[in-house]
Amino acid sequence: MQLTPSLESLNVNLTDITHHAYETVQRGKHFFAIAHKALSTHIFLGLFPPTQKRTQPLSPEVLAWVQERYNALLETDWQGAERGIYPIDLLFDAPWTEFLQFYPSLWLDSSKMWQRANANMFQEFDAAINLENYPQYYRQNFHYQTDGYLSETSANLYDMQVEILFGGTADAMRRRILAPLVDHVQRNSPSPRILDIACGTGRTLKQLQAAFPTASLFGLDLSESYLRKANTLLIQEAGVLPQLVQGRAEDLPYVENHFDILTCIFLFHELPAPVRQQVIAEAYRVLQPGGMFILCDSIQVADFPGQRVMMDNFANLYHEPFYRNYIEDDISQRLTDDGFELLGVEYHFMSKYWIVRKP
């Protein structure tokens, strides 16, 4: 009679425990985000009542759709780690220390955001910021946040704000780019050169670091403050530090055919339509023949017309001047017009993913 458990059963039990731990952490983040939004809305509606109604209630059908897609995202995220696409410990990676440090600042900035929203003020910047260094479309208080993307405070709060907005799923949605990239790398170079366009605070680059430890990583962003934040995050990781460059996505400072892979996460809805096309043209120029480009952004109306109210609510609540145009834009057509071959389109929770190849 066997009195001790087999190695196989121990592995199964450990996997189950890890899976449950992941679910617990994610749902904890989700419930915290819901509680924060409910409490902050209650407080700031009382302090700064809006002059007009900015959102419409979501139907039970839409709420059920959101819950179903949320559950599917968590399962897909877990399966990606279980398949070895990325390390399991990446599922538990979160800036907990920074959360505790900056959460009080989030509340302070939220009151300013509500006041800007009520006054429809979206071009308010600290006098020390030289706006001449940035294109006109970028000189915005996106989300009504203080100084837009052009201050240290904004960079410190951004990841927390996005996690709350997406109910703790921002990194899980970012990781959905990794599976098609792993397949591409296995068929091609084991040490690819990868550029993350509009890398922000470096969260996507961190996912790429974990999945491709031998890759040469590059990040480009318009915001100096966000690049400094990204450097602080990425310098903590083992391996070669990604090369971070300040620049415009529509005028990439790289030679032709330089990269094996390009990624671009949550940028296109913040660009005017002509600039989107310029970014696609630049992506095509710097990507090697046979290279892969993955673009991720918000779901669109044509794909989910029943969720139009939810998209309109987002546009009404946050200063996103180009979002309404984006959700109606045919990004697939834009990509193929510039020569890309469309390999597939995927949808995960609130995000849409275009997977294309340069012939």
Q: CB of 330 within 8 A of CB of 314?
A: no
User: Does the pLDDT value for residue 352 go beyond 80?
Assistant: yes
Query: Three-class SS string for 184-200?
Result: HHHHCCCCCEEEEECCC
Would you call 105 helix, strand, or coil by DSSP?
helix
Kindly tell me the burial class for residue 18, based on how many C-beta atoms sit within 10 Å of its own C-beta (0-12, 13-18, 19 or more): middle
**179 touches 294 (CB < 8 A):** no
Quote the CA–CA distance of 94 and 128 in Å, as a whole number: 32
Asked if pLDDT for residue 93 goes beyond 60, the answer is: yes
Average pLDDT over residues 148-153: 96
**C-alpha–C-alpha distance, residues 194 and 267, integer Å:** 17
Q: Which domains does the chain have, with CATH numbers?
A: 170-357 (3.40.50.150)
21-41 confidence digits (pLDDT tens): 999 999 999 999 999 999 999
Mean pLDDT value of segment 99-122: 93
- Residue 10 above 80 pLDDT? no
Q: Which residue has the higher pLDDT, 238 or 117?
A: 117
pTM score, whole prediction: 0.94
* Angle made by CA atoms 97, 102, 107, in degrees to the nearest 5: 140
pLDDT at residue 160 in the model:
94
Tokens representing 187 are 């068929």
Structure tokens at 169: 């799923």
CB 226 within 8 A of CB 200: yes
Q: Taking the chain, what is the end-to-end CA distance rounded to the nearest angstrom?
A: 62
